[in-house]
Structure 1
Amino acid sequence: MSALLEVSGISKTFDGFRAINNLSFSIGAAELRAVIGPNGAGKTTFMDIVTGKTRPDEGQVLWGPNSQSLLKMNEAQIARAGIGRKFQRPTVFEDQTVAENLTMALKAPRGPLDVLRWRPSAASAARVAELAAEVGLSEALPRRAGELSHGQKQWLEIGMLLASDPQLLLVDEPAAGMTLAERELTTTLLCRLAETRAVVVVEHDMDFVRRLNCRVTVLHQGAVLAEGSLDHVTRNPDVIEVYLGR
């Protein structure tokens, strides 16, 4: 089966520091993957390159069944092509309700006149209700986003990303700051999302990664150090030395 995202031999140097070093990575169309590694391993730069925020010095990043080059697209084009990214800190409109946040995120023409003419419809209301149900926020639709717990804000942001129907979700440390109950619900949510799309979770919390029960990629010094099940990679002597032993 061909990969949805194929990253081949990418490298990136910042002021003499090699943040990414001949990194290759691929993920299928309906797959959950955890990416772990010590600070400075290149996890954020890797996501920056996939989403167009940073250009690699060499290598290629191919996307979709037609193997389009993401390196020829800007950030907005990459997002429209079906790649969504969730940063560690939730960025929601705190003064707006959950329903309003989700409505603003719906896939629609974005030209100035389109925005002025846009009116909510039965279809948009149904889609908002569907998104809220998918991320467990149905009962919170009328609440202001600023009133939500940290975990609920994370789910709202995931719901806002889902509004554009991405084929790949990049999620940065979703478990950080969550209660145990929220973490369990987040695990369930990410596993369910990966049934129909690719989901990459960058995470430090080994217990959370174990709950995801998925293939794990370990990065170190900008390259893939090991890949496989969590049990497989945590038995790797190099992984123990550079990451788990600290």
Structure 2
Amino acid sequence: MTSLLEVSGVSKTFDGFRAINDLSIQISEPELRAIIGPNGAGKTTFMDIVTGKTKPDTGRVLWGARNESLLGLSEAAIANKGIGRKFQKPTVFEDQTVWANLNMALRNKRGPFAVLFHRKTGEDEARISQIASEIGLTDQLSRMSGELSHGQKQWLEIGMLLAQDPRLLLVDEPAAGMTAEEREKTTDILRHAALTRAVVVVEHDMEFVRRLNCKVTVLHEGHVLAEGTLDHVTADSTVIDVYLGRADA
């Protein structure tokens, strides 16, 4: 595995509250990583900084083999570098079919006129079929997306991000609101996606994280508290004290 993303010495303060405090995290390619921690630990701010939504006060965010700085780039420019983000609430085009959603998301080099006159190709069809199979929606391609279950909408949005062929996929609490069967399927989707890219999952559901079977980073007060396997970090007395032992965890 090679280093893809390096967050080094990053800090961010909002109105006197230090959301990120000298945070350093390195993500490889390919890799599946879970990030856990109590509310206010800095998980969302970390993703905001990586995607350009929030600018840090100090530190570096480096990308790719050339260690290119992402700081100062727009959200769109960072997305074009190959960083995709999925928020907790699924956002799909509900009045369009599953097929149409995936087709719109395909990463094609099209100018404004090319988009207007684009015709589907065999390559597009094959790619859509492949993604639909990966996310378990092959038999739902002709269905309106608004008719899908919550879990299926989550899978469709993951598929739409995969259609853009990101090198890094940031996924925020994908298990929220899912049935046990849907959570199981979601871990399979994410584990498969991480075979060829970096996938970072922010999650509270410990059983979901256990099924991911990956390296876990625990954040607390904006910095890394512990890192390793789930068994390793959950046995850490400090992690138990500040996160696992909390009533609101």
Number of the residue aligned with 2:113: 113
Q: How far did residue 131 of structure 1 move?
A: 1.2
Number of the residue aligned with 2:64: 64
Contact 1:109 1:115 in 2 (8 A): no
Number of the residue aligned with 1:187: 187
Calculate the aligned-residue CA RMSD, in Å. Answer: 1.1
Give 3-state SS (helix, strand or coil) of 1:71's partner: coil
Contact 1:187 1:211 in 2 (8 A): yes
Moved more, 155-164 or 126-135: 126-135
Deviation track 1:65-106 (CA, whole Å, cap 9, x = no partner) reads 111111132111111111110000000000100000000101
Number of the residue aligned with 1:127: 127
Number of the residue aligned with 1:170: 170
Number of the residue aligned with 1:198: 198
Give the TM-score of the pair, scaled to structure 2: 0.96
Number of the residue aligned with 1:239: 239
Give the TM-score of the pair, scaled to structure 1: 0.97
Number of the residue aligned with 1:209: 209
Size of the aligned set, in residue pairs, is 246
**Alignment partners' CA distance in 2, 1:2 and 1:31:** 9
2:22 matches 1:22:
yes
Give 3-state SS (helix, strand or coil) of 2:71's partner: helix
Taking the TM superposition and a 5 Å limit, the aligned residue runs for 1:88-99 are 88-99=88-99
Number of the residue aligned with 2:147: 147
Q: How far did residue 123 of structure 1 move?
A: 1.9
Deviation track 1:132-163 (CA, whole Å, cap 9, x = no partner) reads 11111111000000111111100000000001
**Alignment partners' CA distance in 1, 2:110 and 2:145:** 23
**Alignment partners' CA distance in 1, 2:75 and 2:130:** 27
Letter in 1 for 2:14: F
Contact 1:135 1:189 in 2 (8 A): yes
Number of the residue aligned with 1:228: 228
Could you tell me which runs of 5 or more consecutive residues in structure 2 were left unpaired when the two chains were aligned: none
**Alignment partners' CA distance in 2, 1:51 and 1:226:** 24
**Alignment partners' CA distance in 2, 1:118 and 1:23:** 44
**Alignment partners' CA distance in 2, 1:95 and 1:189:** 24
Q: How far did residue 110 of structure 1 move?
A: 5.1
